[in-house]
A = this chain, B = another copy of it.
C-alpha cells in the first residue's frame, strides 16, 4: 500500500482516532503524584493498550521521564527497544529456552516466573538484570508459593543473579474491600524482606489507589495512563483525563415511519415517526454488539442513543429529539472521548474499560497530538 496515497485521502472518508500524547504524559505525572513520588513504570503491552507503542513509549520516555517499561512478550520488547533505545524494558511472559540471546542482544529484562526460568538465566545471563516475579495469590504467572518457600530457604539460589526488581501482581485491586489485597500485601512484604536493597513493585493502576503501603519502590500503571478508572468504587482521580477520542461521521440521515425497523434482525422498530442517522463505525472497529440498543454517542452537545444492532462497519442512532434538529450528513460524532468516557461506555455495555480500550481497532485514521 502506498503510504503517500493513503495520507493524501480526505480526512472525512473514515472515522478518526485522535491520541492525546500530552494527556498520556500528564496522566503519568499525576500517577507519580498519586504514588507519593514513587518511581512509576509504564505498562505498554498490547501496543500500548492499542494506542500505539511507537508514539506512546517515546512520549513517556522523553516528555515524562519514564524510564521503566513493561511489555508482554519478546516481540513487543524488541519493537519497543527500537523506539526507546535507553529504556529499561521488562518482559512479563518470562524467559523461554532459546530466547536468552535475544534478551542479551536487545538489552531486555525477563520477568523470571519459575525456578526453571531462573536456572536458564543463571546459566547464560546471570550478570544481566532481570526481575523476579512472585505469585502471591493471582495464580497466573510467577513463582508459586511452594517455589517461593524453596527459593527463600536457599538464598544461594539467587546469589549470582543480577536482580533488578522483585515484583508481584494483585488479583483484586479494583475492589478495595477484597481481603485478598491485604493477604497479597502481607505475603509480598515477607518476600521483599529477603531482598534488602532491591527495588520492589506490587501495584498496578488499581493498586496505586489502594494506598501508600501498596506502592513500594515502583508502581506499574497502565489503564490510568489512558484515562480509565481502575477502581470499581472510587471516582477517577483528579488530574487523570481521557487520552483519546474516536470521532465518526454521519453517512446518512433517514426519516422513518412508525413501525419501520432498523438494522440486522430488525433490532429496533420506530415507535413513532422518527429520524435516524447512520454512523461510519461498527463492531469491526471495536464497537461491539453489546452496545446494541444501549450505547450512547455524543453529538452536538447531547448524548444520543444507539438503536438496533451494531453492524460491521456502521451503527444507527435516533436523532428524533430536538437537540439534533440540525444534524446532517457529514457531521462529526464522538464515540469515545471526553464525553463518552471509558467508564461510561463500560457501564453501558458491561465490557470492561480495559476491553473497550484495547479493542480499539486499526481501521481508524490515526492522529497523534504531539507534546508541546
Q: Which A residues are within 8 Å of any B CB, using their own CB? A: 1-2, 5-6, 9-10, 12-14, 45-47, 49-50, 54, 72-76, 78-79, 82-83, 92-94, 96-99, 102, 113-114, 116, 137-141, 144, 146, 171-172, 174-175, 180, 251-252, 254-256, 260-266, 276, 278, 280, 282-286, 288-289, 311-314, 316, 329-330, 351-352, 354-355, 358-359, 361-363, 365
Name the residue on B nearest A316 (C-beta): B140
**A12 lies within 8 A of B96 (CB):** yes
Chain B residues within an 8 Å CB radius of A285 = 46
Task: Give, as a whole number of angstroms, the nearest-CB distance from A90 to chain B.
Answer: 13
CB < 8 Å: which of B46, B49, B74, B82 contacts A9?
Answer: B74
Residues of B within 8 A of A99 (CB): 10, 13
How many angstroms from the CA of A250 to the CA of B311 in the assembled complex? Answer: 35
- Minimum distance in angstroms from A236 CB to a CB of chain B: 20
**This chain: copies in complex:** 2
Cα(A45)–Cα(B137), bound, Å: 44
**Contact between A45 and B312, CB atoms less than 8 A apart:** yes
Residues of B close to A180: CB separation below 8 A = 261, 266
Contact between B13 and A278, CB atoms less than 8 A apart: no
Q: CB distance A5 to B82 under 8 Å?
A: yes
Question: Does A1 contact B139, Cβ atoms closer than 8 Å?
Answer: no
Nearest B-chain residue to A330, judged by Cβ: B96
A sample of 14 cross-chain residue pairs with beta-carbon separation below 8 angstroms, ordered by A number, consists of: A6-B78, A9-B102, A14-B74, A46-B282, A46-B312, A72-B280, A75-B365, A93-B280, A113-B251, A141-B252, A144-B255, A171-B263, A172-B265, A180-B261
